[in-house]
Chains A and B, each alone.
Chain A
Amino acid sequence: MLKKDRWLLPEGVREIMSPEARAIEMSRRKILDMYHGCGYDLVQPPFIDFYDSLLTGMGHDLELMTFTLTDQLSGKLLGIRSDMTPQVSRIDAHYIKDHHPSRLCYLGEVLQSRLDDFSQSRCPLQAGAEIYGHDGIESDIEIIQLMIKTIRAVGVDSLTLDLGHVGIFRCLSEQAELSDFDREQLFEAFQRKAITEIKAFLAQLNLAQEYQDAFINLVNLHGSIDILAKAREQLNYPDIIKHIDLLEQAANKLQQLTPNVKLFFDLSELRGFNYHTGIVFSAYIEGHGQAIAQGGRYDGIGEKFGRARSATGFSTDLAHLVEITGFHQNSQDWEQLKAIFAPAVDEGNESLCLAIEKLRAEGERVICELKGQTVDYDKMNCNRRLVCKNKVWLVESI
C-alpha cells in the first residue's frame, strides 16, 4: 500500500473519536440499563457464526448483506453477523425451554457487506429488543414503547411512528391466488408505490376486476388514522378486517400511552415482508430521509430452529442515532471531556495522591502531569488545575 493511501478507510467504515465515541458509549450504558429495568435479559450472540444459521428465517434479505469466510477447522462456511435478530431467536428457541414469554435485548456491532441506506455505514452498532412467546397486541405495544424510549434516550423528542400490517398484502395476494413470482413482482412495485406500473402489471395478469381494484386501493391507503375506516370499506375481506382491527387497537392504545408521538399509517408498507407476519412499525424524525428504527412481528422464525414461538421486536443503529441527533451540538458532551490538571506525583506525596483519587471517585477527570512534559491547558483540554495552598490541595479554574 502506498504511504499516502494508508489513511484510507474501507467504504462505509469510520473511526469515531471523542466526544462522539463517548456520547455513543454513554447512550449504550443508558439504554442497556433501561432495558434491564424493563425486564429484558441481555444476550451476546457470537460475532461469527455458521453462515446458514445467520440467515435462518430471514428469507433472502440477509444473503447479500453477510460477509463470509471459511472455517479452517470444520471446512464449513462461516458468516459475520449482519443482523443479530436470527441469532437471538435461536437463543430463545434453543436455550430457553420455558413457556413463559421471554424478553431479550442485545447491543453490538454487526458487519454488512453493503452500505446501509439509513446510515451509509457497513458496521452499525445494532441495539434491539425482542419478546418471544406472546401472541397479542400487548407485546407489540410494549416493544413499540421501548423503541420510542430508546430514541428518546438519545435525545430526540418529536418523532413520527409509521404503522402497517404486512398480513394485508399477503391476504390479498392469497385471495387473488397470485403465484410467488407474480407476488414478488407486485411486491417490488408496491415498495415504490409505483401506481402506474402496478396498474399495468395487474391488467396484464388478467386478474378479476375486484382484486385489481383492491390492490390499487391498498397502495393508496396511507395517511392519518382516518384511512383505517377507508380500508374497511375498500378491503372488505374477513381476514383483512381482522388485521385492520388489530392496527386500530394498537393505534388507540399508543395514542393514550405516547400522546406526543405522531402516528402515521401505511398499509402498503412492506419492509421485511419476507419474515414479518403482522404489525410492522418504524420511526422517523424531522430532517432525516430514512427510518431511524424499525421492527415488527415475525412469528414462526423460531420454527426453523425447532421451536415455533410468537415474536416481536425492534432494532436500530445506535452509533448512527447518536450521530444524527447532533451529539456535537451538545455542549454538555464537550464539557464532560474537560479535565483537572494535577502536578506530577512525587514519592511520599500521599496527600496529592489522595486528593486525585477523591476527585476521580467523584466522577471528575484528572490528568496527571508526566515529568518533563510541556504544559498547554488548552491542548490537554483542562479548564481547572490542582494546586496546593497551606498544605491543602484545592481545585482552581484556569
Chain B
Amino acid sequence: MQTITIALSKGRIFKETLPLLAHADIIPLDDPESSRKLILDTNQEHIKLVIIRATDVPTYVQYGAADIGVAGKDVLLEHGGQGLYEPIDLGIAKCKLMTAGPMDAEINYFEQGKKIRVATKFVNVAKRFYAEKGVQAEVIKLYGSMELAPIVNLADRIVDVVDTGNTLKANGLKPMEHIADISSRLVVNKASMKMKHDEMHHLIKKISEAV
C-alpha cells in the first residue's frame, strides 16, 4: 500500500472533516487539540494526517508534501488554486467572504478617483475585487484582528470571512459587500491523483458519499 498523507488544519475544519473521514474508515489515533504531534497516525497504517495552518494546506498539497487536504475556498481564492485539483465541495465550515466597514459607511460612499485603504489577509482577493468595481484600493496586509483596523484608522474597509457577524458588530462594524460564498474543498495533488489513482479514487468516492 502506498502511503497517503492528508493535510488538515486545526479547529473547525478538523472537527467537521472527521465524520467524512470516518465514512472512509479513517480515524485519527490522537486529538490534535490535546496532542503536540504534527503528524497523526490513523487506524489505517498507510494513512497519516498532518496538522498545519489553514493557509499552508494548498502549498503542502501543491508540492506533494501531502497527497490530499481540506482547504477553505477563501484560502484557495487567495492562493490562486493553480496546480491543484479541487474535486469536491465538502459543504463544511461555511461562511462568507465580505467587505466590512464602520456602521455609518455607505457602499457608494467613495467619490470617483478617491483611494480607499483596505486591511485584509486576503490581499489578492481584495485587489481583484476592488479593481473589478473600479475602486482604487491600497491594500494593507494584516495577519489577524482585522476588525481593529477601521477603529484605529489604519483602514477604511476590511475584507474578511464573516460567519455570524458578531465580531464585526462588537467592534462597531457592519458587513457590506458579498465577495464569495465560502465552504471547504477537498484538494488533491495532481501527481498523486495520477500515481496513486486507485487509493485516491477510493478515498474521494467515499468522502463524496458522506458529503
- Could you tell me which A residues sit within 8 Å of B by CB distance? 117, 160, 162, 191-196, 222-224, 262, 264, 266, 284, 286-291
CA distance A160 to B198 in the complex (A): 14
- Given A192-B81, A193-B86, A195-B87, A287 and B194 contact (CB-CB distance below 8 Å): no
Which one of B64, B65, B81, B197 contacts A290 once the chains associate, using CB atoms below 8 Å? B64
| Closest residue on chain A to residue B89 by CB atoms | A196
- Could you tell me which B residues sit within 8 Å of A by CB distance? 62-65, 81-89, 185, 188-195, 197, 201
Interface residues of B, dominant DSSP? mixed
Q: Are A284 and B86 in contact, with the CB atoms below 8 A? A: no
Q: Which residues of chain A are near B85, meaning CB under 8 Å?
A: 192-194
CA distance A291 to B189 in the complex (A): 11
- Given A289-B64, A289-B191, A290-B191, A192 and B88 contact (CB-CB distance below 8 Å): no
- Given A288-B191, A289-B64, A289-B192, A192 and B197 contact (CB-CB distance below 8 Å): no
Q: Which residues of chain A are near B62, meaning CB under 8 Å?
A: 117, 289
Which one of B63, B64, B86, B197 contacts A264 once the chains associate, using CB atoms below 8 Å? B197
Q: Are B87 and A222 in contact, with the CB atoms below 8 A? A: no
Could you write out 5 A-B pairs with CB less than 8 Å apart? A117-B83, A192-B85, A195-B88, A266-B194, A289-B192
Which one of B82, B88, B191, B201 contacts A284 once the chains associate, using CB atoms below 8 Å? B191
| Closest residue on chain A to residue B76 by CB atoms | A192
CB distance from B130 to the nearest CB of A (A): 21
Q: Which residues of chain A are near B86, meaning CB under 8 Å?
A: 192-194
Q: Which residues of chain B are near A289, meaning CB under 8 Å?
A: 62-65, 189-192
Which one of A117, A195, A196, A223 contacts B82 once the chains associate, using CB atoms below 8 Å? A117
Which one of B81, B192, B195, B197 contacts A223 once the chains associate, using CB atoms below 8 Å? B197
Q: Which residues of chain A are near B89, meaning CB under 8 Å?
A: 196
CA distance A222 to B193 in the complex (A): 9
Q: Are A224 and B64 in contact, with the CB atoms below 8 A? A: no
Which one of A195, A222, A284 contacts B195 once the chains associate, using CB atoms below 8 Å? A284
Question: Closest 10 interchain pairs by CB?
Answer: A289-B64, A196-B89, A193-B85, A264-B194, A194-B86, A284-B191, A289-B63, A289-B191, A160-B195, A193-B87
Q: Are B191 and A291 in contact, with the CB atoms below 8 A? A: yes
Residue of A196, A266, A288 with highest tally of chain B CB at under 10 A: A196
Q: Which residues of chain A are near B87, meaning CB under 8 Å?
A: 193-195
CB distance from A247 to the nearest CB of B (A): 15
Q: A194-B185, A289-B65, A289-B190 are in contact. List 7 more A-B contacts (CB 8 A).
A: A192-B84, A222-B194, A266-B194, A286-B195, A289-B64, A290-B64, A290-B83
Q: Which residues of chain A are near B88, meaning CB under 8 Å?
A: 195-196
| Closest residue on chain A to residue B81 by CB atoms | A192
CA distance A195 to B85 in the complex (A): 10
| Closest residue on chain B to residue A219 by CB atoms | B87
CA distance A383 to B40 in the complex (A): 47
CB distance from A231 to the nearest CB of B (A): 16
CA distance A291 to B192 in the complex (A): 11
CB distance from A109 to the nearest CB of B (A): 24
